[in-house]
Structure 1
Amino acid sequence: MTPESRLMDTNDLTSAELRVWRAFARGEVVDFRASDDEDPAQGADWGPDRTVRAIVLRALLLNGPAQDGEIPALRLGGARITGVLDLQYGVIDHPLRLSDCFFEDVPRLYAARLRHLSLRGSVLPGLAAATLRVEGNLHLTGCRFPGQVRLGGTHITGTLFLDRAEITAPDTTQPALLLDHATIGGDLRAPGLRTHGAVDLTSTSIAGSASLDDARLSHPGSFALDAQTLLVEGDFHMRNVRTQGWIGLRGARITGRLDLSYATLSNPGDAALRASSSTIGELWLRKGPPMQGTLNLRRAQIEVLFLEPEAVPEEVLFNGLVYTDLTPHEPAERRLPMLERDGDGYLPHDYEQLTAAYRRVGDDHAARLVQLAKQRRLRGTRAWYGRLWGYAQDATVGYGFRPLRACAWLLSLLAVGSLAYALHHPRPLKVSEAPHFNPVFYTLDLLLPVISFGQEDAFAPDGWYQALSYALIITGWILATTVVTGVTRNVSRQ
């Protein structure tokens, strides 16, 4: 005879257990709590008047009494549950709610199938529920686990509630919350979650949205939240989250918004947020302090990147990052420093992405400043002679992005040359054939390498005036070459 069949004889039950047994058939609530603000963490001191053996609960759930016209359900509050609640591989058709209870041992729900499970407000040494299937909601609201919670491979057709739950891993080498490869048909609701140890959401699929608002995730020196290849069909809210350790979202797909507003991410000496190769509808990094650690967005694809300059850390990794819109709209001078912090060094792609973002909103001036900064950054990667030529282009026409500089140079040199040659006319080569000397057009003949006014070939300066003419000729060629180079660069880009 099995223990369950023996317990059908109610003579073996305590008064507390008998009360639970009789309420089960009618789905009635049995509440042992002395007050609403009672702390279940003190459950070890509760006496036999509110103690229920786990084997009794197992017998009820697997083969409990039924009553015509009633829906059986186990609804128990404020009880001390002794022994192991072992429902492994069991199929439970009755709603199961154990609220504000104290469990002496870790419940075993591996591969079980339940209609509805609520452990709201209970204190448990852990939870072993890998591959659990819940055809409804799973409520772990306000639960405290001084041990590991294993929900890997769980299938929940409704919503998983972990709001205000607290999980502490006794061994920091093991995750505090294992929710990897799980499938959630509704939402993941975990605002105010507290974990001391890692949270593993690897390859989890969430059909709705996820919320970790106001969560505190602590696992210094390692991952606080590992969500590689996570799939969220809606939004993933992590507003005001605080982490010690890195957040890993490599390869994740978030259709809606990943909202890290007001977040404090800390993992000094390593990445604070790793979202490489991810696909995100919107990424919001705003209203929070600069993250302590690296921001890694390599090869990520983001539709809207809401990135405030103040939130950018000292080092970023943007190699291959693609975004459509960059907001809020900021002057190029406030955006460029973040590209200079790229730990991969000079990457033309970073500047092209920022340029494209400014052009999409019609800010051509900012786009030109980004391209100018790109050329200056490129100059530092070249050999000495390339850098010299770069300095010449920058000083004269700003690499073609400041063409009015060429006019200023031309007018200044024209004024210097005209004044010098007006005070000292160069001697004519052939007095009888020489035209009337004009210091302005003579200077223009020296400066402009293509146009000729017939002055340069008719007169020959001497002394330092000859040196001045050589300087004007060389400067004219440099101006012309840099202008052509800049114009060609702009035309080819457009």
Structure 2
Amino acid sequence: MQIDDMTPAEERVWRAFPRGQGVDFRTAADDDPARGAAWAPDRTVRASVLRALLLSAPQEDGETAALRLAGARITGELLLQYADIDHAVRLSDCFFEDTPVLYAARLRQLSLRGSVLPALRAENLRVDGVLRLTDCRFEGPVRLGGAQIAGALFLDGADVGAPPAGQPALQLNHVTIGDGLSAPGLRTRGEIRLSGASTAGSVDLSGARLDAGPDTAALDAVTLTVEGDVLLREAEVHGWIGLRGARIAGRLDFSRARLAQPGDTALRASSCTIGELWLRGGPPVSGALNLRRAHVDVLFLEPDVVPGQVLLDSLVYTSLTPHEPAERRLAMLERDREGYVPHAYEQLTAAYRRIGDDDAARLVQLAKQRRRRATLPWYGRLWGRVQDATVGYGFRPLRAAGWLVSLLLTGSVAYALHHPEPLKPGEAPEFNPVFYTLDLLLPVISFGQEGAFAPTGWYQWLSYALVLTGWILATTVVTGVTRTVSRQ
């Protein structure tokens, strides 16, 4: 392209490029690029001129060429697909009439900070430095699938409009980021697709508003790999979040976030490996919480945030914070959509034991037995109720002592008032109502009273009841002791 074919504005940009000088067409600090369609010709630059500039402009010895343009109206398509550009490109606060096409291009660095664009097509883009889309406003989808970014990707404050039906609003699947994804305050009206993406840094979506609507993915990050943290603090998410199979070395933080997917699963984090999972400070999750088969080192879960339905089968965690009474934690296990899940009770028991709260651990185990009882046939449920009432399945051993003392007093008083007749009057020992009752209650120990006397009438039926009750108590006590020894 000859310089004679250019407008004064384009010529100004062309002359500044070899020396890396900036050209700023902005007329005021609050100049809004959203009104760029009405900007005058003196701040209009054709996309074809920018393309020719980046691909074939002359260089000056001793200078570092770069395209630094601000406040321009860019007309036509900026077609840079497959282009290899060794210069930094910064197009700040610009208005693009058409969607830039950067498919499979390679750039040293790219910044579109504060610009307004119809959309962005940059699949398989390669950036040797930073890709900055801070405060950009996109009317349609942003496609960066398969991109390789050596530095960081900045989407903080960006606004991405609704995509065509069936397409994600922000396509970042299989993207590789050398530093991190910084997107606090991001707003999207559709799905963010991060499936298969990997980053050596963190993913920051703090304060983001992800609005995908009901029964739609707001953030689909299946098999995401993050070496740092994933932060959604104070985020507002309408739609489900999918993290199945993700690996997050640091913290997955939903502190003070609002997750809403009524009637469906709001957070799908099954089969994940996470350093720390934080759900705290916000309202209850609207929708189910799926943590099946997940492995979490530290689970920071406030009971008030837990939704009405959870899926916890095979969830493994090392530490559970904050420390809460067992009754508040058990309410979560009772909400499991799959019903009785033994593994969830064992995990909660182990968490309490690791911090030395044996009383809470026993409460969890007792609740587990009661929950299991509901799954048994009628005779199993009946026997379970007897064990529960007598010794609390072995976790309330003092109850057995109370029952034994009560029965001992009852029998002693009854037989003291009415001595049973001796079987052999001349050979029978002196009758003792206390030891006679103990002989009936304790099936193993014998004081020589039971075999020497024979009660009659209802006293005989009382003896049968004491014998039967003694066997039940002895069996349940042995069960409880066995369970205690097994735990130790």
TM-score (norm 2): 0.99
Counterpart code for 1:282: E
Question: Which position in structure 2 is the counterpart of 1:99?
Answer: 92
**Residues of 2 paired with 1:319 and 1:449: CA distance?**
42
On the 8 A contact 1:315/1:342 being kept in 2, the answer is yes
Deviation at 1:492, TM superposition (A): 2.5
- Which stretch has the larger CA shift, 339-348 or 75-84? 339-348
Q: Is 1:226 matched with 2:220?
A: yes
Per the alignment, in what secondary structure is the counterpart of residue 86 of structure 1?
A: coil
**8 Å Cα contact 1:24/1:65 also seen in 2:** no
Q: Provide the rounded CA distance (Å) in 2 between the counterparts of 1:108 and 1:169.
A: 19
The equivalent residue for 1:369 is 363
- Say which of 281, 286, 289 aligns to 2:283: 289
1:422-461 deviations in Å (ceiling 9; x for gaps): 1111111121111111111111111111111111111111
One-letter code aligned to 2:469: T
Q: Give the direction of change, closer, same or farther, for the CA distance of 1:263–1:172 in structure 2 (3 Å limit).
A: farther
Q: Which deviations, in whole Å up to 9, do the C-alpha atoms of 1:152-206 show, x marking residues without a partner?
A: 0000000000000000123242100000001000010000000000000000010
The one-letter amino acid paired with 2:459 is Y
TM-superposed CA distance for 1:421, in Å, is: 1.1
Give runs of aligned pairs for residues 50-129 of structure 1, distance below 5 A.
50-129=43-122
Distance in 1 between residues matched to 2:381 and 2:3, nearest whole Å: 93
2:206 is the alignment partner of 1:216:
no
In 2: Cα distance, 1:277 partner to 1:473 partner: 53
Give 1:99 shift.
0.2
**1:172 and 1:197 in contact (8 A); partners too:** no
| CA shift for structure 1 position 251 | 0.3
Q: Partners of 2:88 and 2:446 in 1: how far apart?
A: 98
The match for 1:448 is 442
Pick from 11, 29, 32: which aligns with 1:18? 11
* Partner Cα separation in structure 2 for residue 304 and residue 17 of structure 1: 57
Q: Answer with 16-25 or 65-74: which moved more.
A: 65-74
Instruction: Name the structure 1 match of 2:149.
Output: 156
Give me the whole-angstrom Cα distance separating, in 2, the residues matched to 1:409 and 1:317. 40
Alignment partners' CA distance in 2, 1:11 and 1:285: 62
Is 2:201 aligned against 1:201? no
Deviation digits for residues 226-275 of structure 1, max 9, x if unmatched? 00000000111110111110000000000001011001000011110000
Identify the range of structure 1 (276-285 vs 62-71) with the bigger mean alpha-carbon deviation: 62-71
CA distance in 1: counterparts of 2:60 and 2:263, whole angstroms: 64
Tell me the distance in 2 between the aligned counterparts of 1:493 and 1:316.
Answer: 28
Number of aligned residue pairs: give it: 487
Asked whether the 8 Å contact 1:55–1:85 carries over to 2, the reply is yes
Deviations 1:349-375 (A, max 9, x none): 111111111111111111111111111
Which residue identity is paired with 2:363?
L
**Counterpart-to-counterpart distance in 1, 2:61 and 2:342:** 75
Bigger drift between 248-257 and 68-77 goes to 68-77
Q: Aligned partner of 1:197: which letter? A: G
State the match for 1:4 in structure 2: none
Q: Which of 388, 395, 420 is residue 426 of structure 1 equivalent to?
A: 420
Using the TM superposition, give the Cα deviation of residue 26 of structure 1 relative to its aligned residue in structure 2, in angstroms. 1.3
Q: Show the counterpart of 1:380.
A: 374
Distance in structure 1 (CA, Å) of the matches to 2:69 and 2:422: 115
The residue type paired with residue 210 of structure 2 is L
Give, in angstroms, the shift of residue 135 of structure 1: 0.2
Letter in 2 for 1:493: R
AA at the equivalent of 1:95: A
Structure 2 residue 358 is matched with structure 1 residue 354: no
Q: What secondary structure, in the 3-state scheme, does the structure 1 residue paired with 2:472 have? A: helix
Which residue, out of 11, 16, 20, partners 1:27? 20
Query: One-letter code of the match for 1:485?
Result: T
Identity %, equivalent residues:
71
| Deviating 4+ runs (over 3 angstroms) | none
Q: Which of 138, 147, 160 is the matching residue for 1:145?
A: 138
CA distance in 1, matches of 2:449, 2:255: 69
Query: Is 1:257 aligned with 2:228?
Result: no
2:31 alignment counterpart: 38
User: Shift in Å at residue 411 of structure 1?
Assistant: 0.4
User: For residue 274 of structure 2, what is the aligned residue in structure 1?
Assistant: 280
SS in 1 for 2:212: strand
Instruction: Show the counterpart of 1:3.
Output: none
Q: Distance in 2 between matches of 1:417 and 1:171?
A: 83
Offset of residue 36 of structure 1: 1.3
State the secondary structure of the residue aligned to 1:62.
helix
1:3-32 Cα shifts (integer Å, max 9, x gaps): xxxx2x211101111111111111111111
Cα distance in 2 for residues equivalent to 1:271 and 1:348: 22
Q: Which amino acid aligns with 1:431?
A: P
Alignment-derived partner of residue 321 in structure 1 = 315
In structure 2, the gaps of 5 or more residues are: none
Residue matched to 2:409:
415
Residue of 322, 325, 328 corresponding to 1:331: 325
